[in-house]
C-alpha cells in the first residue's frame, strides 16, 4: 500500500512535467480522431493552395510533434530535389489566420508521400526542438505542397464538414492570402482538418 501511495503521485508529476497531463502520450494535447465524413481538400502547390488548421490548448504544454490525416493519389518524383510536403506550426496573426512560423519546417519526402496509402492515415512529423505553447492561445498546423500537382498526382488532407472541433478553424492560402476554406460547387463543405498535436 505504501508503494502504490508513493508511486502514483510520482508518475502523475512526471507526466505533468512532460506537458502531457494524464492523457495518452501519443496524442496528449489535441486529437481529432479519425471520424471523417468524406470532406477533404487537395494540397496543390501548382495552384498555390496551402491549408492550415487552428487549435487551442487548455493548459501550458510542451509540443514535440504533429500528425495530419492524409491520403494520396498517384506517384511522386523521388529524384534529387523531387516532390515534398511541408508540415509545421505557426502562431496566430491576430486576425484569425496563421502568423509567424514557430517550429522547424518538417518535410515528407517523395518516398514518404509514395508510402502514404490511397486510404487516409495519420502522418507524423517530429520537430527539431520541442515547443512551449501557452494555454488559451490559438496556434496553427500548416501543410504546404512542394510538388506540381495534376489530375493524377496530389495529396489529400481529410476532415469534417460539420464543426465537430469548436476550438479550431480550417483555412486555405491562395495567391498568398489566407481565407476560410470555401464551400465550392461539387465539393463537400469542410470545417476542420483532422490533426493530432502531441508530446513524447
The model's pTM is 0.83
Q: Per the domain annotation, does 133 fall within a domain? A: yes
CA separation for the pair 68, 62 (Å, rounded): 18
Give the residue-averaged pLDDT of 26-50: 79
Quote the number of domains for the chain.
Answer: 1
Q: Per the domain annotation, does 87 fall within a domain? A: yes
pLDDT of residue 13: 35
Q: Is the pLDDT of residue 67 over 90?
A: yes
Helix, strand, coil % in the chain, rounded to nearest 5: 10, 45, 40
Identify the CATH number of the domain in which residue 33 sits: 2.60.120
Q: What percent of the chain has pLDDT over 70?
A: 82
pLDDT band at 153 (very low <50, low <70, confident <90, very high): confident
pLDDT band at 130 (very low <50, low <70, confident <90, very high): very high
- Give the three cell numbers for residue 94: 491576430
CA separation for the pair 87, 167 (Å, rounded): 20
Q: Which of 29-38, 130-139, 175-184 has the least mean pLDDT?
A: 175-184
Domain with 191 in it? 25-198
Q: Per the domain annotation, does 1 fall within a domain? A: no
pLDDT of residue 184: 64
Instruction: Work out the number of other CB atoms within 10 angstroms of the CB of residue 56.
Output: 17
Residues in the chain: 200
CA separation for the pair 125, 105 (Å, rounded): 9
Q: Which of 43-57, 108-122, 123-137, 148-162 has the least mean pLDDT?
A: 43-57
Find all residues with CB under 8 Å of 169, minimum gap 6, and list them: 53, 54, 96, 180, 191, 192
Mean residue pLDDT of the chain comes to 82
Element (H, E) at 108: strand 106-108
Q: Per the domain annotation, does 7 fall within a domain? A: no
Q: Per the domain annotation, does 3 fall within a domain? A: no
Strands, E, within 12-60: which ranges? 30-31, 39-43, 50-56
pLDDT of residue 199: 75
Amino acid at each position: 500500500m505504501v508503494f502504490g501511495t508513493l508511486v502514483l503521485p510520482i508518475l502523475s508529476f512526471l507526466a505533468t512535467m512532460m506537458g502531457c497531463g494524464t492523457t495518452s502520450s501519443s496524442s496528449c494535447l489535441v486529437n481529432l480522431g479519425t471520424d471523417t465524413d468524406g470532406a477533404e481538400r487537395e494540397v496543390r502547390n501548382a495552384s498555390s493552395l496551402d491549408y492550415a488548421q487552428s487549435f487551442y490548448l487548455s493548459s501550458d504544454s510542451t509540443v514535440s510533434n504533429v500528425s495530419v490525416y492524409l491520403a494520396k493519389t498517384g506517384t511522386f518524383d523521388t529524384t534529387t530535389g523531387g516532390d515534398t510536403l511541408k508540415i509545421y506550426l505557426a502562431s496566430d496573426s491576430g486576425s484569425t489566420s496563421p502568423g509567424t512560423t514557430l517550429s522547424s519546417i518538417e518535410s515528407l519526402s517523395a518516398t514518404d508521400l509514395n508510402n502514404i496509402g490511397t486510404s487516409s492515415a495519420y502522418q507524423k512529423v517530429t520537430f527539431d526542438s520541442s515547443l512551449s505553447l501557452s494555454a488559451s492561445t490559438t496556434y496553427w498546423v500548416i501543410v504546404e505542397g512542394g510538388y506540381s500537382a495534376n489530375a493524377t498526382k496530389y495529396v489529400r488532407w481529410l476532415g469534417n464538414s460539420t464543426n465537430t472541433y469548436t476550438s479550431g478553424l480550417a483555412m486555405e492560402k491562395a495567391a498568398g492570402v489566407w481565407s476560410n476554406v470555401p464551400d465550392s460547387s461539387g465539393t463537400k463543405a469542410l470545417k476542420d482538418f483532422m490533426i493530432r498535436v502531441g508530446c513524447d
